Structure 1
Amino acid sequence: MKTERLLAITMILLEKKQISAPQLAKMLEVSVRTIYRDINSLSEAGIPVTSCPGVNGGIQIMDNYKIDKNFFTSSDITSLLIALESLSQNVSPIQTNQLFQKIKTLAPEDFLEEIEFKTNQITIDLTPWTRNHTLQPFLELIKSAMDQHRILEFGYEDNQGRKTKRTVEPYRLVLKEISWYLQAYCLEKADFRTFKISRMLDLDLSSSTFIPREFKAKPLGNEPFYGKNFTITTLKVTHKIKEQLIDKFGQLRFSPSNDSDRLIVEFPFMEDEFGYNLLLGFGNQCECLTPPHVRNELKRRIENLLELYQ
């Protein structure tokens, strides 16, 4: 969001004194043109930001400048606090509380009560229903490695059960739905790779450091819908399954079934393990009507499951 980015640019300029637009663009993962637009926005808001041309030039902020408390509105501060709270379960409580207090100092005292009220109106809880107690220590260790540019070593088990040893340069943590991923440069593969945190074993922070190389964030290659082709299936589902499908895939066209109180929906289905496991996970509350080959494959998998329990 633009508000968070403007705050980040201001804080970076106050800390670094001078930095180039391409460096800022790389740090914030936006275009140089966007950075210049943000600089104009800061100038219009009364922050004394200047740009010096030349090889040794860059963007800088006037010495001894302090942020005017009227720069951020109560809505701006509220948005920042809500965003921070949504990640508070995966950040050190002490660190979170300190950051909360720092952000609140950006607001005039007259707005504090209003901000407190608005912040409590929205809660974003990203934590799963069941807790992975090994996740938090791993995240803290990875964040330390990224801050200190230190090598990470760990065992890794892929989705086929194959185990390998990995030595990596960590660059980015990504939260995708309920799973955390590490994007890193793998020294064994001599390339950037994405690792699912829950598949890591014996994570260790090495004493060796590394010089950060150029890193460009990429979409997670193992996303369920990443680069896939869909098969349109006709499903007969209960109202409970309707709710789950809408939660995951957005609004779909549901129509009443002629022979029951269930609903008929055309569903974009992926013919892979994810897709079949998704439909089978709905149990007897979902029936695949068409196409025949998908229905037959579901029957085959159900029969194999029955054999397991004979």
Structure 2
Amino acid sequence: MEKSRLFYILYYLLEKRKTTAEELAVKFEVSTRTIYRDIDSLSQAGIPIYANVGYQGGIYLKDDFILDKALFNEEEMTSLLAILKAVEESEHWNIKSILAKLNGFEHLDEDWLKIDLTRWGDDKNADIDLFQKLKKAILQTQTIIIAYHGVNGHSLRMVDPYYLKYQGGGWYLEGYCHKRAAMRMFRLTRILKIEVQEKTFSRLTYNEVQVDKKDYEYCEFLFSKRVAYRVYDIFARSAIEEVSTGVSVKVNLLIDEWMDSFLLSMGGEVEIIKPERLRQKIVKLHEEAIKKVGA
């Protein structure tokens, strides 16, 4: 965590040029004493960073400082620049000044990656607006109320937002759900509306928050080879084995509404081997669907 914090302090100063130990302590949730140790570590690493006390004092980065190859080799800098350019294209963060500094390097093959995090369609601003509101709520520890569309339909959830997480090809909000009294993940594409509240929350560690682990279970599935492409979209390669009868998946999973929906969408292309309760649950959901269709 210390190395990561040093990295972000440096880039924060590249953007702001001047800050205070108190501001950094609040931003990174550490003590001012820790911040001063970090500043000392950066200084010892050759970064021209210094601190002044008294009126108009603060922590400064030398005006003419730019990143050089003492910090990153060419391959590392190329990767960093490509990632930051992809983030800039998503319009979720304002990092133009950082990119301007990094673009001072010559002979970097940075144009090999392009990412667009918005959905298909004309209303791309809606995704950007949602992302910005969530980012602000997370950084300012503000509780939010979201209109969410899950497998069981619409619901309103009060959530203390902790992280935005990109996993399995989609963006998720991870936070403390007041309704479930546990940490939950909400897919951003299913958040229909968001209201940021004035109420703030105290950010707790995972050890302090009641994490609902009872829904994590060991699962075994056998998928038809006809849907192998979807299996590889969802599960890690280490959990997948191609066998003579199909595609076997053995993995510990959070059995939630999304997993129910995924298994239902597979129809007869999947055999649920374990756990038995999940198999029975999916059978029941199929039976209910058949009744509705036949009604």
- Please say whether Structure 1 and Structure 2 have the same fold, judged by a TM-score greater than 0.5: yes
How many residue pairs end up in the alignment? 276
Measure how far apart 1:76 and its partner are.
Answer: 4.7
**How big is each residue's C-alpha offset from its partner over 1:11-56, in whole Å with a ceiling of 9 and x where there is no partner?**
378312x425xx5344235787975664344223423445689x99
Q: How does 1:62-73 map onto structure 2 within 5 Å?
A: 65-70=63-68, 71-73=70-72
Structure with larger Rg: 1
2:21 maps to: 19
Decide whether aligned partners of structure 1 residues 227 and 5 sit closer, same or farther in structure 2, where only a CA change above 3 A counts.
farther
**How big is each residue's C-alpha offset from its partner over 1:100-152, in whole Å with a ceiling of 9 and x where there is no partner?**
324323x3xxxx2x22x1x22344554456776422234456667899x8x99
Partner Cα distance (2:18, 2:192) in 1: 35
Q: How does 1:32-47 map onto structure 2 within 5 Å?
A: 35=35, 38-47=38-47
Q: How does 1:227-246 map onto structure 2 within 5 Å?
A: 228-233=215-220, 235-239=221-225, 241-246=227-232
Partner Cα distance (1:182, 1:269) in 2: 16
Decide whether aligned partners of structure 1 residues 72 and 291 sit closer, same or farther in structure 2, where only a CA change above 3 A counts.
closer
1:274 maps to: 258
Q: Do 1:154 and 1:200's aligned partners in 2 also have CA atoms closer than 8 Å?
A: no
Q: Secondary structure at the match of 1:39?
A: helix
| Correspondence for 2:267 among 279, 283, 286 | 283
Q: How does 1:1-310 map onto structure 2 within 5 Å?
A: 2=4, 4-8=7-11, 10-11=13-14, 14-16=17-19, 18-20=20-22, 23-28=23-28, 35=35, 38-50=38-50, 60-61=59-60, 65-70=63-68, 71-73=70-72, 74-91=74-91, 95=94, 99-105=98-104, 107=105, 112=106, 114-115=107-108, 117=109, 119-128=110-119, 133=124, 134-140=126-132, 156=147, 159=150, 161-163=154-156, 174-177=164-167, 178-179=170-171, 181=173, 198-201=190-193, 215=203, 228-233=215-220, 235-239=221-225, 241-250=227-236, 251-252=238-239, 254=241, 256-257=243-244, 260=245, 262-310=246-294
Q: What's the Cα RMSD here?
A: 5.1
Amino acid corresponding to residue 127 of structure 2 in structure 1: L
Q: Do 2:86 and 2:115's aligned partners in 1 also have CA atoms closer than 8 Å?
A: yes
| Residue identity (%) | 18
Amino acid corresponding to residue 67 of structure 1 in structure 2: F
**How big is each residue's C-alpha offset from its partner over 1:202-233, in whole Å with a ceiling of 9 and x where there is no partner?**
869x9xx89x88655769x999x866330433
TM-score by length of 1: 0.61
Unaligned runs of 5+ in 2: 179-183
Unaligned runs of 5+ in 1: 187-192
Q: Do 2:67 and 2:101's aligned partners in 1 also have CA atoms closer than 8 Å?
A: no
Measure how far apart 1:67 and its partner are.
Answer: 0.7
Measure how far apart 1:256 and its partner are.
Answer: 1.9
Partner Cα distance (1:181, 1:306) in 2: 33
Decide whether aligned partners of structure 1 residues 271 and 98 sit closer, same or farther in structure 2, where only a CA change above 3 A counts.
closer
Q: Do 1:86 and 1:126's aligned partners in 2 also have CA atoms closer than 8 Å?
A: no
Partner Cα distance (1:286, 1:222) in 2: 33
1:190 maps to: none
Q: Which moved more, 1:81-90 or 1:67-76?
A: 67-76
Measure how far apart 1:82 and its partner are.
Answer: 2.2
Partner Cα distance (1:245, 1:281) in 2: 12
Decide whether aligned partners of structure 1 residues 34 and 19 sit closer, same or farther in structure 2, where only a CA change above 3 A counts.
closer
1:189 maps to: none
Amino acid corresponding to residue 174 of structure 1 in structure 2: L
